[in-house]
Amino acid sequence: MTDLASPITDSSRKTCTLYYQLAEELAQAISSGVLQTGEKLPSIRKLSSQRQVSLTTVMEAYRELEDRGYIEARPQSGFYVRAQRGFAMPELTQPPQKPSEVVIDPLLQPAELARLHDIKVDFGLAILSPKLYPNAQLQRILAQVTRHEPELISDYGKPQGDLELRRQIARRSLAWGGHVDAEEVLITHGGMEALNLCLRAVTQPGDIVALESPAYFGLLQILESFRLKALEIPTHPQTGISIEALELATRSGDVKACVLLPNFSNPLGSLMPDDNKRRLVELLAERNIPLIEDDIYGEFCYHGDRPRPAKAFDRNGNVMQIGSFTKVVAPSFRVGWVTTGRFQSKLEDLKFINTYSTSPPLQRAIAKFLESGGYDHHLRRLRKACADQVTSAVSAIQRFFPSDSRLHVPQGGYVLWVELNTAVDTLQLLQRALADGISFTPGPLFSPSHSYRNCLRICCVEPWTMRHERAIQRLGQLASEMIYGC
Ligand SMILES: Cc1ncc(COP(=O)(O)O)c(C=O)c1O
């Protein structure tokens, strides 16, 4: 254990102190650009009188910000905002051009790491803090639902799902120009069941499936269990999969399905421009290759309206769009859905034999939450929280990671993809970090060809605190040691 242990365990006491809260407030102002590089901060005396706090409190807050690299003291002059270092963006990925069998090391999965190690700061699990969910509201709605309709408890429900919920989902598609009919919506046990059903609907063992590279490891596990081969397609961290590369890869007719995350992919955070989505949908429709669109992060945009899914450009039902309330509303409810397109009857049959139905009271509670407007209100708060968490993480990574690191700053979601100097093996980095109680997901887990050894994914799932800051600092130190050997 290093000296990281004490700041982490002491952090909750520390975060309650006045100086720390003042430092946090100023750090936020710097990260969000309210206070800009080179700007002078108020003198210690002035801030102490403005805030009605002691001189020591302000001095300690400034010292904290200096330690964290936000500000610098200039002799005889005062405190100034330091330039926040920006990192270059990773380039278009270059995965192998051949399909691979998928073999995933279960011991590298974030949930398994969390089970086997004493983790104090977990950047591995993509599970948002319980504090960010509308538990009290949902508890009230669920109580009302079961009070007014107790028969829902003894009802198996229908395989397609609750009609009220399906209508609400169809209605929300109007916002992105979708013409989804409630009949076309199939409710599932989260996004995971939807991915399973969609892949089973359109592939046979041994088939080749095209995907982003790097790709969500949960998807790779499904491919592994169905004995499907993965064809990794070059992907840009900003704009997603290369349509040109996909066009070439699908010429031979061997690719039987394509699974993509056009909106805020996991782990790259890329967002495909609308024009690329249109070209993607047209290309795959022409070649009769079904598109499974995993859109579970689409709602997590930081600014403006949620981006349109590829489904918005679908003209012949070739796109199955997957959504989920797991990440957005209630992880324990496990309610997701898929808009089935031309695969409706196949998907309904598969749902019937897979889990038959999804819990009727839980579906109805979500339907009521959507109908009441509570969902939109919650979504605004959630988006803001994710944006703040990611901004703070980006700022810390830029201050503490080696200067030749590369990073893509996403416009939505809550995962960050960092590319380090090739001297860093993130599998080894993970072992060292785990010894300090820190976890993250190493790059090779996102690739069937086990590429990306010098990359890692950081999940920003909790309100940012000193604990996270110190953990990023420690990761940066460990990475530097691997590069410079000291
Ligand atoms: C990209 C992606 N798709 C699907 C899922 C699974 O969704 P759910 O939790 O709704 O089953 C996850 C969960 O982390 C994910 O990151």
SS3 state at 256: strand
Q: Is the pLDDT of residue 128 over 90?
A: yes
Are the C-beta atoms of residues 142 and 362 closer than 8 Å to each other?
Answer: yes
Determine whether the shortest distance from the Cβ of 330 to ligand 1 is under 6 A.
Answer: no
Quick one: pLDDT band at residue 354, thresholds 50, 70, 90? very high
Q: CA 433, CA 62: separation in Å to the nearest integer?
A: 29
Complete DSSP assignment for 449-461: T---TTEEEEE--
Q: Averaged over 327-340, what is the pLDDT?
A: 97
CATH of domain 106-130+379-484: 3.90.1150.10
Packing angle, helices 55-67 and 44-51, rounded to 10: 120
For residue range 191-230, list pLDDT tens digits in order. Answer: 999 999 999 999 999 999 999 999 999 999 999 999 999 9
For ligand 1, the distance from its centroid to the CA atom of residue 296, given in whole angstroms, is 7
Q: Averaged over 258-278, what is the pLDDT?
A: 97
pLDDT for residue 6 = 42
Are the C-beta atoms of residues 100 and 449 closer than 8 Å to each other?
Answer: yes
Q: Which helix H or strand E contains 297, and what residues bound it? A: none
Q: Is the pLDDT of residue 4 over 60?
A: no
6-20, 242-256, 278-292, 338-352: which range is least confident on average? 6-20
Domain boundaries, the chain: 5-81, 106-130+379-484, 134-376
For ligand 1, the distance from its centroid to the CA atom of residue 294, given in whole angstroms, is 8
For residue range 397-422, list pLDDT tens digits in order. Answer: 999 999 999 999 999 999 999 999 99
Q: Is the pLDDT of residue 32 over 70?
A: no
3-7, 19-23, 313-317, 462-466: which range is least confident on average? 3-7
Q: What percentage of residues in the chain have a pLDDT greater than 70?
A: 96
Quick one: pLDDT band at residue 35, thresholds 50, 70, 90? confident
Ligand 1, closest atom to CA 325? 10
Q: Averaged over 59-77, what is the pLDDT?
A: 87
Are the C-beta atoms of residues 415 and 267 closer than 8 Å to each other?
Answer: yes
Q: CA 292, CA 257: separation in Å to the nearest integer?
A: 7
4-8, 385-389, 477-481: which range is least confident on average? 4-8
User: Which pTM does this prediction carry?
Assistant: 0.87
Q: Is the pLDDT of residue 10 over 80?
A: no
For ligand 1, the distance from its centroid to the CA atom of residue 216, given in whole angstroms, is 8
pLDDT for residue 11 = 46
Are the C-beta atoms of residues 233 and 249 closer than 8 Å to each other?
Answer: yes
Among 235, 300, 326, the mutation site with the greatest number of ligand 1 atoms within 8 A of its Cβ is: 326
pLDDT for residue 64 = 86
Other C-beta atoms within 10 Å of 244: how many?
A: 11
Q: Averaged over 137-146, what is the pLDDT?
A: 97
Quick one: pLDDT band at residue 13, thresholds 50, 70, 90? low
**Dihedral in degrees, nearest 10, Cα atoms 145, 380, 393, 464:** -60
Q: CA 64, CA 10: separation in Å to the nearest integer?
A: 15
Q: CA 203, CA 198: separation in Å to the nearest integer?
A: 9
Choose which CATH entry (3.40.47.10, 1.10.10.10, 3.50.50.60, 1.10.540.10) describes domain 5-81. 1.10.10.10
pLDDT for residue 15 = 58
C-alpha angle 404-409-410 in degrees, rounded to nearest 5: 150
For ligand 1, the distance from its centroid to the CA atom of residue 430, given in whole angstroms, is 23
Determine whether the shortest distance from the Cβ of 301 to ligand 1 is under 6 A.
Answer: no
Among 199, 266, 415, 460, the mutation site with the greatest number of ligand 1 atoms within 8 A of its Cβ is: 266
Q: How far apart are the first and last CA of the chain?
A: 18
pLDDT for residue 72 = 87
Among candidate residues 310, 270, 305, 306, the one with its CA nearest the CA of residue 289? 310
92-96, 111-115, 277-281, 434-438: which range is least confident on average? 111-115
Q: CA 262, CA 271: separation in Å to the nearest integer?
A: 6
pLDDT for residue 67 = 80
For ligand 1, the distance from its centroid to the CA atom of residue 121, given in whole angstroms, is 21
Q: Is the pLDDT of residue 3 over 50?
A: no
Q: CA 187, CA 336: separation in Å to the nearest integer?
A: 6
Determine whether the shortest distance from the Cβ of 133 to ligand 1 is under 6 A.
Answer: no
Residue nearest to atom 7 of ligand 1 (CA): 191
pLDDT for residue 1 = 40
Residue 427: C-alpha distances to residues 61, 109, 373, 406, 447 (Å): 36, 12, 44, 18, 13
For ligand 1, the distance from its centroid to the CA atom of residue 192, given in whole angstroms, is 6
Determine whether the shortest distance from the Cβ of 23 to ligand 1 is under 6 A.
Answer: no
77-91, 136-150, 385-399: which range is least confident on average? 77-91
Complete DSSP assignment for 417-475: EEE--TT--HHHHHHHHHHTTEE-EEGGGG-TT---TTEEEEE--S---HHHHHHHHHH
Q: What percentage of residues in the chain have a pLDDT greater than 90?
A: 83
Are the C-beta atoms of residues 453 and 426 closer than 8 Å to each other?
Answer: yes
Task: Compare 279 and 75 and report the one with higher pLDDT.
Answer: 279
Determine whether the shortest distance from the Cβ of 190 to ligand 1 is under 6 A.
Answer: yes
Task: Compare 179 and 143 and report the one with higher pLDDT.
Answer: 143
Determine whether the shortest distance from the Cβ of 196 to ligand 1 is under 6 A.
Answer: no
Among 169, 216, 325, the mutation site with the greatest number of ligand 1 atoms within 8 A of its Cβ is: 216
Q: Is the pLDDT of residue 438 over 90?
A: yes
Q: CA 216, CA 473: separation in Å to the nearest integer?
A: 26
* Topology agreement, domain 5-81 and domain 134-376: no
Reported residue count of the chain is 486
Determine whether the shortest distance from the Cβ of 333 to ligand 1 is under 6 A.
Answer: no
Q: Is the pLDDT of residue 5 over 70?
A: no
Quick one: pLDDT band at residue 83, thresholds 50, 70, 90? confident
Residue 197: C-alpha distances to residues 107, 191, 398 (Å): 26, 10, 40
For residue range 283-325, list pLDDT tens digits in order. Answer: 999 999 999 999 999 999 998 899 999 999 999 999 999 999 9
Q: Does domain 134-376 have CATH number 3.90.1150.10?
A: no
Neighbouring residues of 12: CB distance < 8 A, sequence distance ≥ 6: none
Determine whether the shortest distance from the Cβ of 441 to ligand 1 is under 6 A.
Answer: no
